[in-house]
Structure 1
């Protein structure tokens, strides 16, 4: 079993072991070049033309050479008509024409692209049964098919089985495995496979390194990614623009703009031209840090270098201006997009609608929504949430319901963000109505939904309704988490109902809803300590002493002494006063 498999913790797999003969000889790739790539010189045919020509050839006597059929099948693969290629190949065999290794390899490719890996392996078994020798392209296609389905364990074992039979793989195959590992989050296993490749005297190419560097950067392991880049330089593997883009993205995501700029200078020294993505990364980090002047300088550098800002550039700049509350500047950028030949997308409109709503420019936001509809653009959930939040904050609550209905009509049911906006802006009746509406439309609420409702009712002075709602949830057997309990307990404490808060705290522990840090306990302790001066000494002691014991037993002794101190003080006062 391979070391990479062991690291992944995968059990052995018997996939395809039985398909291999006891000895599968290794044939140099040159032997297969003539057939493996013959279909790459496909005719530029449309699907219909390819089908007509293929069927005409089927009835020719004598039949045309098999490579001629393969060219047509290959042309269909190029235009991604995989089912058609499979269908034609079946007709091919029904006429008694024996497929060759290329035909079968094309079939494997089609099945893998369609996600039918089991069928692909059936064709592979047929290749072996017919006495053909699969080449590196066939093996790599099967490995890629497994990787695309997320079956890395099987891909690695299939690789190991082939190697055990004497087969040798190349950079492309290992690049496929590395890509599959990185896409499934197994970057460490990919790094180990990289070392193993070098042990087989195969020199990994820039694509393989780029794949791992990109994965490391996206997982914020930028130091390791930069070390890998340094390793490339030492091994004289030339980095390309993709290498630098990945590293710059990683550094920018970590807030290390200085290091990202240094990489841009490295690119210049190595005569590697930055692309639109390179500049967009720098524009994005500048905007997120509120450095709009720097963002414009980067865009100017992009234009000077011959680049043209795209919709991503404009969206990033607009969002940056909105973040620094300069919505008028953002609107100017939005209007200049069309003048410069760039069509705004849904994200463009959503950014501007959100910016207008935050500035309470609701009419402008609604005008943009109507403009989207006129252009047959479908507003997404983000667009509607921004509008609903803006409507609530501006007191235009009557329009919210229309938006909620519109969302539902467009197949975008109102979510917890809408509910939260209504609660936070004290539109509790609307929030409750929306909650009932969600239930009626069979939208299943989650625990966050319950927390929003309970918290909103408590903070809005509807404690009795909150208690009834909470009790209803308990009776129905809903499993609530700590935040929901916290919201209810805080509401009870705020109303001075400490005995009920303590009772609910006990129920919370009984139901297994206690949070690990004891936040609920400390919150209740804080309320009790804050208000104990307003209680009679004996009442304060009766409430605080049990809570101190509860804290000690439930979440550890740290901090329980604070509650105990107040409790003992109250107890002494009660004893002295004789109460």
Structure 2
């Protein structure tokens, strides 16, 4: 169901009255200021020497006589906010207020932005209430920040209601506002409502821009409405709004998803011809799809011409190339690109290592694995469950079960919980490596702990039991599987039927075969 957007001049939500509950009551305002004013370590960026210098300078200003002008405090808070140290900025602001230093409108707007970035919307509206109480007139930037924060928190209805309430009180908004609201509607799956809002804006509410069109075009492509998306691009151009790199990227990605890579390349040519510089995202999209369809020469060509186009490759660019080369069994070339990264001041991330470890394991180069894991630790890129699962799989596949078990213990000791996929690999490796009893112990442990065992896990155990000639135990496990609500698939039936035939239990095998046909698992 779409959000109702009417053509009334400003009322773009269905209920202005509901907004009143988003303004804080006095208790929520006081709770914001009563929180501990210590510097928060949970900032989105790690602390640096610059941050510590700013904090020290800020504290020293408290003891100066006379107290420095408010714009000196404002300058430090603004710098910290730009560095994304939002919690530290808020903490210093609280300390300043507790010292009796009166904030100005700019500082309060900075704090609103920090709170919105941290998703603390109730507190951000507390600060808005303070602004109004002090007799300040909040500017459109502060109001846009609040609407952006609401949209990021999936509260687009509240953002629309806030818009209407603010307009009713005499505030005027700009194209940034409507770009935020349209984007919020699209992110919330309300593409139809976003289009209606765009039409209202086109009707003279304010000047349209490419930012308003981009999220709608993107959503239309994602909803498989390609014709409508291209029509909107055409309409946008007819309104003398030219596509930017973001629009071109959306179209290129949509064409690549449909495997129309040649047409995507033509769009790139049009992009260059109209003097829109391709971004790293543009080239990454094409490289990624070329590698997916095994056209690595084309992917390599794009990667090598990035510098000519004055586009700096990102970590994603390197990951795409390394992954593509490994899929094509070109391990040495992938390793060369990996080793080239530090020379270009590019630090491999955990994804890079996981891609490389997976490729090395699949190509049988297990001897390099431990060195790579050690390097991950050295570069402070901690292995995760994907890393360990990948290597455990390789060890099991090559019957290095003791090494697999050793790595499994390391993973558990580090507090990394195995996924169901990890357990399945381990059980499968133990069964195929002739260590059925250990596999059974693991399987029983999972049952007791209430893990959601899937059909692959049951099939693996049934196969292991059958290979050891333990047909009765396999049949018992089959019954337990169905009792637990896990239905056997084609593979499970084939395992059981083959084992019964090999044991000359023809009648039982035929019973399973008939049941398989009855369940529609065999045509």
| SS state at 2:267 partner | helix
Equivalent in the alignment of 2:27? none
> Which piece of structure 1 moves more, 272-281 or 48-57?
48-57
| SS state at 1:445 partner | coil
Equivalent in the alignment of 1:468? 476
Equivalent in the alignment of 1:433? 441
- 1:491, distance to aligned residue in structure 2 (A): 5.5
Deviations 1:30-57 (A, max 9, x none): xxxxxxxxxxxxxx99532452355246
Deviations 1:1-42 (A, max 9, x none): 973499x9988861227979xxxxxxxxxxxxxxxxxxxxxx
Residue 200 of structure 2 corresponds to residue 196 of structure 1: yes
Equivalent in the alignment of 2:508? 497
Q: TM-score normalized by structure 2?
A: 0.77
Counterpart-to-counterpart distance in 1, 2:312 and 2:124: 44
Counterpart-to-counterpart distance in 2, 1:49 and 1:10: 49
Counterpart-to-counterpart distance in 2, 1:219 and 1:243: 16
Counterpart-to-counterpart distance in 1, 2:93 and 2:312: 46
Equivalent in the alignment of 2:31? none
Is contact 2:5-2:196 (8 Å) kept?
yes
- 1:101, distance to aligned residue in structure 2 (A): 4.1
| SS state at 1:468 partner | helix
Identify the match of residue 230 of structure 1 among 228, 234, 241: 234
Equivalent in the alignment of 2:4? 3
Is contact 1:275-1:307 (8 Å) kept?
yes
Is contact 1:283-1:295 (8 Å) kept?
yes
Identify the match of residue 274 of structure 1 among 278, 281, 289: 278
CA distance 1:372–1:166, shift in 2 (3 Å): closer
Counterpart-to-counterpart distance in 2, 1:375 and 1:82: 27
Structure with greater Cα Rg: 1
Is contact 2:131-2:138 (8 Å) kept?
yes
Counterpart-to-counterpart distance in 2, 1:316 and 1:88: 42
Identify the match of residue 445 of structure 1 among 433, 440, 451: 451
- 1:270, distance to aligned residue in structure 2 (A): 1.2
Equivalent in the alignment of 1:420? 424
- 1:257, distance to aligned residue in structure 2 (A): 0.8
Is contact 1:419-1:431 (8 Å) kept?
no
Counterpart-to-counterpart distance in 2, 1:122 and 1:350: 44
How many aligned positions are there?
477
Equivalent in the alignment of 2:59? 52
Counterpart-to-counterpart distance in 2, 1:328 and 1:90: 56
Is contact 1:198-1:204 (8 Å) kept?
yes
Counterpart-to-counterpart distance in 1, 2:312 and 2:71: 45
Equivalent in the alignment of 2:28? none
Counterpart-to-counterpart distance in 2, 1:437 and 1:17: 50
Residue 341 of structure 2 corresponds to residue 347 of structure 1: no
Residue 297 of structure 2 corresponds to residue 297 of structure 1: no
CA distance 1:464–1:288, shift in 2 (3 Å): same
Counterpart-to-counterpart distance in 1, 2:185 and 2:197: 9
> Which piece of structure 1 moves more, 354-363 or 494-503?
494-503
Deviations 1:365-390 (A, max 9, x none): 34433443444432232322222222
Deviations 1:267-296 (A, max 9, x none): 221112223222222221111111111122
- 1:470, distance to aligned residue in structure 2 (A): 4.9
| SS state at 1:303 partner | coil
Residue 263 of structure 2 corresponds to residue 259 of structure 1: yes
Equivalent in the alignment of 2:289? 285
Equivalent in the alignment of 1:540? none
Is contact 1:457-1:465 (8 Å) kept?
no
Residue 148 of structure 2 corresponds to residue 144 of structure 1: yes
> Which piece of structure 1 moves more, 264-273 or 92-101?
92-101
Equivalent in the alignment of 1:556? none
- 1:401, distance to aligned residue in structure 2 (A): 0.8
**Looking at both structures, which has the greater relative contact order when contacts are Cα pairs under 8 Å and sequence separation is at least 6?**
2
- 1:110, distance to aligned residue in structure 2 (A): 3.5
Counterpart-to-counterpart distance in 2, 1:309 and 1:94: 47
- 1:354, distance to aligned residue in structure 2 (A): 1.7
Counterpart-to-counterpart distance in 1, 2:99 and 2:219: 49
Is contact 1:414-1:438 (8 Å) kept?
no
Residue 133 of structure 2 corresponds to residue 122 of structure 1: no
CA distance 1:144–1:389, shift in 2 (3 Å): same
Equivalent in the alignment of 1:33? none
Counterpart-to-counterpart distance in 1, 2:368 and 2:447: 33
Counterpart-to-counterpart distance in 1, 2:94 and 2:303: 55
Is contact 1:290-1:324 (8 Å) kept?
yes
Identify the match of residue 383 of structure 1 among 381, 387, 392: 387
Equivalent in the alignment of 1:522? 520
CA distance 1:430–1:363, shift in 2 (3 Å): farther
CA distance 1:192–1:296, shift in 2 (3 Å): same
Counterpart-to-counterpart distance in 2, 1:375 and 1:89: 35
Residue 322 of structure 2 corresponds to residue 318 of structure 1: yes
CA distance 1:297–1:487, shift in 2 (3 Å): closer
Deviations 1:455-498 (A, max 9, x none): 113333154334434555677xx4x244x477666655553537
Equivalent in the alignment of 1:239? 243
Cα RMSD between the aligned structures? 3.9
Identify the match of residue 405 of structure 1 among 404, 409, 423: 409
CA distance 1:502–1:330, shift in 2 (3 Å): closer
Is contact 1:112-1:142 (8 Å) kept?
yes
Is contact 2:13-2:164 (8 Å) kept?
no
Is contact 1:108-1:141 (8 Å) kept?
yes
Is contact 2:3-2:193 (8 Å) kept?
no
Is contact 2:462-2:478 (8 Å) kept?
no
Is contact 2:13-2:161 (8 Å) kept?
no
